[in-house]
Amino acid sequence: LLGYIGIDTIIEQMRKKTMKTGFDFNIMVVGHSGLGKSTLLNTLFKSQVSRRSAGWARDEKIPKTVEIKAVSHFIEEGGVKMKLTVVDTPGFGDQINNDNWWLCVNPHPPPPPPPPLPASWEPIGKYINEQYEKFLKEEVNITRKKRIPDTRVHCCLYFISPTGHSLRQLDLEFMKHLSHSVNIIPIIAKADTMTIEERLDFKQRVRKELEMGGVEYYPQKEFDEDMEDKSDNDKIREAMPLAVVGSDKEYQVNGKRVLGRKTAWGVVEVENPNHCEFAQLRDFLIRSHLQDLKEVTHNIHYETYRAKRLHGNGG
Ligand code: GDP
Ligand code: MG
């Protein structure tokens, strides 16, 4: 047979190319107001994702998020450069809480009118589509850039309130709506407010309700490419939604400084896998599925958008 051709050098070639150009990765957070979205983004940056990157203001009080805001950080590790952009969004459905004033005035009021839901979703869906549109414009440009900057949302962390009860209809509908245009990763917020048993029960319940509601979240079964993918992803799917704790405060635990939340019973350590699943989420996003998140975004979600646009309906 033939001698060595050298096909396997493609791996080294790809490595060199990635080293030279770097890559973009974009994460969005969505969910009801007050669930810790802004805090978790801070936690991501303060944890090992970017321990080495400078420039994150410390101990700043997190203001209430009132508009969609994308913040980019350049991170370099082992010679590989990543531009990580996090997109923070204001909580939707806030009206539900703020409209309760009538309870004080009238103890037996008629039920309030349903809040204008689609209106509060709109900016989030719009932002996602705008990034697809930007990419499309660059692609069809005659003087096309050699490398198109990628601002498309590669994953959308959807925060679920740690109630232990059924998901809100609003959340189910919104997740379903979003899942057609972006990779949804549902997570249980503020997991420190639940016991381990409560978390397990709640996870199971949420998975069931997502399935019954027809919400397809990432990693979608239909995109598993082989048995290895399937068995890896089955494990992840069984652990979902990951129960996380966020904090940007550091405490001293056994002589080490750790990110955590101080409670009457001690410090809940954000990065300790016995305390919550933040580290698992981070590893999933960065270490095992980053490339796949980018590929599914490009090959499935962007492609759906592009096909619609080029057929003249959508955008
Ligand atoms: P956002 O509206 O979803 O962006 O929520 P914020 O990040 O502004 O957080 C709202 C409040 O919840 C703040 O007081 C945070 O300190 C607190 N918080 C954030 N993450 C957690 C968490 O994991 N556990 C608990 N118990 N509180 C949290
Ligand atoms: Mg916020």
pLDDT value for 141: 87
Among 28, 38, 39, 278, which residue has the most ligand 1 atoms within 8 Å of its CB, making it the best to mutate? 39
39 lines ligand 1 (CB under 6 A): yes
pLDDT value for 49: 54
Distance, in Å, from the CA atom of 53 to the CA atom of 250, rounded to the nearest integer, reads 17
pLDDT value for 104: 40
Indicate if the alpha-carbon torsion angle 240, 243, 249, 251 is positive or negative: negative
pLDDT digits (tens, 9 = 90+) for 107-142: 566 666 555 555 668 899 999 999 999 999 999 888
Which ligand 1 atom lies nearest to the CA of residue 91?
Answer: 2
Residue ranges for the chain with pLDDT beneath 70: 1, 48-63, 93-120, 313-315
91 lines ligand 1 (CB under 6 A): yes
- In 130-281, the DSSP E strands lie at 155-160, 184-188, 242-243, 250-253, 256-263, 266-269
The whole-angstrom distance between residue 61's C-alpha and the CA centroid of its chain comes to 22
Give the number of other CB atoms < 10 A from CB of residue 93.
18
φ, ψ at 85 (rounded to 5°): -115, 130
Whose CA is closest to 281, among 198, 199, 185?
185
Q: Please name the helix (run of DSSP H) or strand (run of DSSP E) that holds residue 235, with its range, or none.
A: helix 227-239
- CA of 66 from ligand 1 middle (Å) equals 15
pLDDT digits (tens, 9 = 90+) for 30-43: 999 899 999 999 89
Q: Can you name the residues that pair with 23 across neighbouring β-strands?
A: 82
Ligand nearest to the CA of 67: 2
245 lines ligand 1 (CB under 6 A): yes
pLDDT value for 286: 92
Q: Look at residue 252 and give its three-state secondary structure.
A: strand
ipTM: 0.99
Nearest CA to ligand 1 atom 17: 36
CB 74 within 8 A of CB 52: no
Model confidence, pTM: 0.87
